[in-house]
Structure 1
Amino acid sequence: INGIYSELPQLVLTQPESWKLGAYIALITNFGNIAPFLLVLIKCLYRKHIINPVPINYIVILVGMLSCFLLIFFWSYTTIIANEKRSTVLLILAFFLSLLDCTSSISFADYICRFRKEFTSTIFLGDSLNSILPSVLAIAQGNGRIYCVELTNRTNETTAVYQTARFSVSVYFLCLFTLFTISFIAFVLLQWTSIARKSHQLVPETSLEIMNTNHKPQKSLTTSTYLLLSLGCTYSSSILFGMLFSIATYVLMPYGHEIFYLGTIISPWMFTIVWIIGIIKPIIAKRYLLILIILGSITFVFDMIATFKSPCPSFVGTTKRSVLILIIWLSTYILLGYPRLVIANYVRIYSTNGMFWFGANVQLGALIGSIVAYLLVETFSLFRERKACEQVIC
C-alpha cells in the first residue's frame, strides 16, 4: 500500500477524486485490518494449535503480485457510482494491498521466530525497504516535481504546476510487480535452501531469561512488564504508522515544498537507521526504553503543535528554522522506532508467541492512529494545509 501512497501525486492528476483519493485509500487501508483481526481471533480460539505463517506469507506475496499486475493495466479504470466517477479498480486493488500490508505485520513477525534471535532486527529492515523502494521509484519517476507559475489575472497569485513524469504510472506498477516477484523468490529461497536453514533457531529460546551484552542473566519479564512493553509497541506504532503520514502535509508544507519533499522522502530511511542501531544494540535497559519513548513523544508534540498552527506554524520563514523542524520530524521516527525494535527483542524471548502478538500490537496501533488522524483531518477538519506555491501572510 506504500507503493500507492508514493505514487499519489501522479494518480491524483488523472483520477476523478483528485487529492481526496488519499483519504479514500487511507479509509480502505483500515478495512484491511479485517485480515489480522481474523488471525488474532483464530489464535485465541485455537490456543493449543500453532498457526503456520509460511502458507500465509505465500498468500500475502501472491496477492501483492496479482494486485500490482492488475494495476499495470487497469489502474485508471473508473465507473459511475451515485452519478459520480469513482476509481473503482484502483480502490478495490488498494484494498487487497492493504490486506497484504496489514497481514504481513503479523505473519512475518511470527515467521522470523524460526530464525536465530540476531535476525529479529531484519524485519525492521524490511519495514524500511517497504517504504524506501517505492519512494526511490517515485524519485526516479520525477514524482512531486513542481514549479510555481504566476497567474495572469493581476492578483499576484501563483499556482503549482507538476512537471511531466519520466515514465508512466503503469511502468511504476510494473516495477512494483517486479519487486514482489523478487520477494517471492527470496521467500522461496528462505524456505528451501540450506544456507537459510543454517540460520534457523535450533535451540529453543529461554522464555524467562535475557542475556545482556556482558552475558549476565537479567531478571525475567513479569506479566505486567510484558503488558507495558506491548502497550509501548502499540503507542509507538500508532504514531509512526497512523499519525505521522496523515499530518505530514500540515507539519512540513508550511516550510516550503522542498522541506515537505525531503521530509517525506528521507523519513523511510530513518527506519534503516533504526535497524542499524538495532544490530549494534538490540537490547537496552527498560528505563532507557521509557526515556526514548518520552523523548519521541515530545518531538511528536512539536509536530502536532505545528499541525494545529498550519499554515502559519512557529519557526516559519527562515532556512535554519525550516531545517530545525525537519530534524524534529525525522527524530520522531528514530526516537519511537528504536524502542519498537527493542520491544520486539524483549517479547520474542519472553514468549514463543511473543512476535505474533508484537505484530498484532503494531497493527492495532496503526489502526488506532489512522482512525484518530482521520477524525482530526477529515471528520472535524481541525487542520488547514498550505498548498504548494500558495502565498500566505503569517
Structure 2
Amino acid sequence: MALVLHILACIFGTGAWVAINGLWVELPLIVNDLPEGWYLPSYLTIIIQLANIGPLVVTLMHKFKPGWLNEIATIYTIIVLGIVASFLLAFFWRETTWVGGELHSTGFLVLTFFLSLVDCTSSVTFLPFMMKLETQYLTSYFVGEGLSGFIPGLLSLIQGVGIVTCVNVTQSDNGTQTISRSSYGADQLETQYLPANYSVQVFLFLLCAMMAFCLVAFYSLTRISSKQLLLQSSTTLFHSSSTINSTNPPGTPPGTLELTESKQGDTSAPTMDNPLRTECNTQEISYGQYALIYFLTAWVNALTNGVLPSVQTYSCMPYGNLAYHLSAAVGSMANPLACLIAMFLPCQSLLALVLLSVIGTGFGTYNMVSAVQSPCPVLQGSDWGVALIVMSWLLFIGSLSYVKVMIGLILRSQSHSALLWCGAVVQLGSMIGALVMFPLVNIYGFFQSADLCNSQCIG
C-alpha cells in the first residue's frame, strides 16, 4: 500500500506544471506556425503572470473568508479545467483572429491562459492537500512535480523539437533562394528545422492524457482509508489553519500556534515509520527563520522559474545544438533526481540550505554570464565548453531543486498555513523573476542570438 501511495502522489504531482512545461518545450515547433513568431515566448510569459490571479484569489479567500472553499472540489475543478483546456488546445491552437489590426493566435493564447491558471493555482491548492498526507508522500509529490518538466522534455526530444540542419543556399540575381551547391551566385549556410517525428496536436493530446492520469491519481488518494493516510479529517480548504490562526496574536509567524495544538493530537510525531521527521523539524520556527525560509523560497524560484529559463537558449545555443538539447534533457532530469536524493538523504539545516542556495546561484551566474556573452561565450567551439555548460545547468537545477524540497518538508512539519504561504511565495518569486527578465530580453534586446551555421565570432 505504501508503494501505491508513493506512485499516486507522484502522478498527482505531475499534474502541477505539466501543461505549461509542455508548451515551453514545444515552442520551437509552435512558433513556426503562429503569427506572433518568436515573440510568442514573451506573450506566454505575460499570460503566466496574469494567471497568478488564481493563487491570489485562493490566498485572499483563505485570509478573509476561511472555510468558503471546499478543498476537494477546488482541486477537482482545477484538474478538470486543465484536461478540457489541453484537449481543446489540440484542436484550436492554430486558430487566429484580427485584433487591433494585427493577426493574433487567439485560440492558443486564450487556452494557454486557462492552462496557466490551472498550473499557478496548483501551487496553493495541491501542496496544502499534501499536508494531509504523511511527510514521505510529500517527497513523492515533489518527484512528480519534477517529472512534470522531465516527461514533456523527453517527449520533445523524441519528437525532434528544435533539431536543425545547415543548408547551402544560393542567392540568385532575381532575389529568389534555391538549395544548391553551385559555385554561381552568393552562397551561404542557412539554419533550417527538420520535420518533427509527430505533430504538435499529438503532443498536446499527450499532455491531456497526463492531466487525466493526475485526475485518476487524485481521486484514488481521496478514496484511500483515512486511517492509513490522512492526518486530519477536515474537507474544507484551510479549515484547520484558519481556525487556529483566528486566535493568533498580530505578528505571530504562520503556524506557530498551530504547531502547539498539533502536538496534542497529531499522530505524525517522530516515529520509526516516518524517518524524515527529525528533531530539527519538530521545533517551533521563529519569525526570523520564517523570513529566511520564505526569502530562500522566493529567490530560488525566481532563478529557476523566471530568470534563467528566459535565457537558456542564449546560454546554450552558442555551444551548438547538442549542448542545448543535453542541457535541456539533463536539466529536466535534475529536478526529480534531486527529489529522490532528498527522500534518502534529507538535510533540514537552514545553514546547509543557505550554503547550497549560494552554490546553486553560483552555477546560475555562470549560465547567465554565458548568455550575456552570446553569441561568443568563453570556450565556444570546445568540447570543454559544451561539458561545462551542460554540467552547470545540471548542478544549478539540481541543487536548487533540493533546496525547494527541503523547504517544503520543513514547512509541512509546521502547519497547513505555512505550506499555503509557501505556494504563494513560489508564485511571487517566479513572477518577479519573469518580470525582471521580460524587458531585458524582449524590449531592450540585451541578449543576442547565435546562428548555428554562420559563426559571428572572430578568432
Cross-structure match for 1:123: 141
Cross-structure match for 1:24: 43
Q: CA deviation at 1:202?
A: 5.9
Could you tell me which amino acid in structure 2 is paired with residue 315 of structure 1? L
| Contact 1:74/1:90 (8 A) holds in 2 | yes
Aligned with 2:405 (options 341, 356, 362): 341
Q: CA deviation at 1:207?
A: 2.6
Give CA deviations for 1:335-369 in whole Å, capped at 9, x if unaligned.
21111111111112222311111111111111111
TM-score normalised by structure 2 residue count: 0.80
C-alpha spacing 1:108/1:263, structure 2 compared with 1 (3 Å): same
Separation in 1 of the partners of 2:454 and 2:222? 53
Aligned with 1:198 (options 221, 228, 231): 228
Cross-structure match for 1:71: 89
**What is the aligned-residue RMSD (CA, Å)?**
2.3
- Superposed, 1:54-69 pairs within 5 Å as 54-69=72-87
Aligned with 1:279 (options 339, 343, 348): 343
C-alpha spacing 1:143/1:178, structure 2 compared with 1 (3 Å): same
TM-score normalised by structure 1 residue count: 0.93
Q: CA deviation at 1:156?
A: 5.1
Q: CA deviation at 1:265?
A: 2.4
Q: CA deviation at 1:248?
A: 0.3
Task: Tell me if 1:239 matches 2:299.
Answer: no
Separation in 2 of the partners of 1:283 and 1:276? 13
| Contact 2:319/2:386 (8 A) holds in 1 | yes
Deviates more, 1:221-230 or 1:168-177: 168-177
Separation in 2 of the partners of 1:52 and 1:228? 31
Give CA deviations for 1:109-129 in whole Å, capped at 9, x if unaligned.
111001011212123112212
Give CA deviations for 1:210-231 in whole Å, capped at 9, x if unaligned.
9687954675311110111011
Separation in 1 of the partners of 2:108 and 2:352? 44
Could you tell me which amino acid in structure 2 is paired with residue 178 of structure 1? A
Separation in 2 of the partners of 1:216 and 1:18? 54
| Contact 2:52/2:121 (8 A) holds in 1 | yes
Cross-structure match for 1:351: 415
Aligned with 2:390 (options 315, 326, 347): 326
Deviates more, 1:275-284 or 1:233-242: 275-284
Aligned with 1:207 (options 259, 265, 269): 259
Secondary structure in structure 1 of the residue aligned to 2:377: coil
Could you tell me which amino acid in structure 2 is paired with residue 198 of structure 1? Q
Q: CA deviation at 1:257?
A: 1.1
Could you tell me which amino acid in structure 1 is paired with residue 21 of structure 2? N
Q: CA deviation at 1:164?
A: 1.4
C-alpha spacing 1:125/1:198, structure 2 compared with 1 (3 Å): same
Cross-structure match for 2:439: 375
C-alpha spacing 1:123/1:214, structure 2 compared with 1 (3 Å): closer
Task: Tell me if 1:180 matches 2:211.
Answer: yes
Equivalenced residue count is 392
Q: Give the gaps of 5 or more residues in structure 2.
A: 1-19, 172-184, 234-239, 241-254, 264-268
Aligned with 1:136 (options 151, 154, 173): 154
Q: Give the gaps of 5 or more residues in structure 1.
A: none
Separation in 1 of the partners of 2:64 and 2:451? 49
Q: CA deviation at 1:101?
A: 0.9
Separation in 2 of the partners of 1:230 and 1:172? 36
| Contact 1:63/1:96 (8 A) holds in 2 | yes
Separation in 2 of the partners of 1:89 and 1:28? 13
Give CA deviations for 1:128-179 in whole Å, capped at 9, x if unaligned.
1211222222222222222111222355532221111222221221121111
Give CA deviations for 1:30-66 in whole Å, capped at 9, x if unaligned.
111111111111122135x485432221111111111
Could you tell me which amino acid in structure 2 is paired with residue 207 of structure 1? L
Secondary structure in structure 2 of the residue aligned to 1:121: helix
Could you tell me which amino acid in structure 2 is paired with residue 129 of structure 1? L
| Contact 2:327/2:389 (8 A) holds in 1 | no
- Superposed, 1:94-109 pairs within 5 Å as 94-109=112-127
Separation in 1 of the partners of 2:200 and 2:455? 31
Separation in 2 of the partners of 1:225 and 1:214? 18
Secondary structure in structure 2 of the residue aligned to 1:159: strand
| Contact 1:242/1:370 (8 A) holds in 2 | yes
| Contact 2:375/2:457 (8 A) holds in 1 | no
% identical equivalent positions: 29
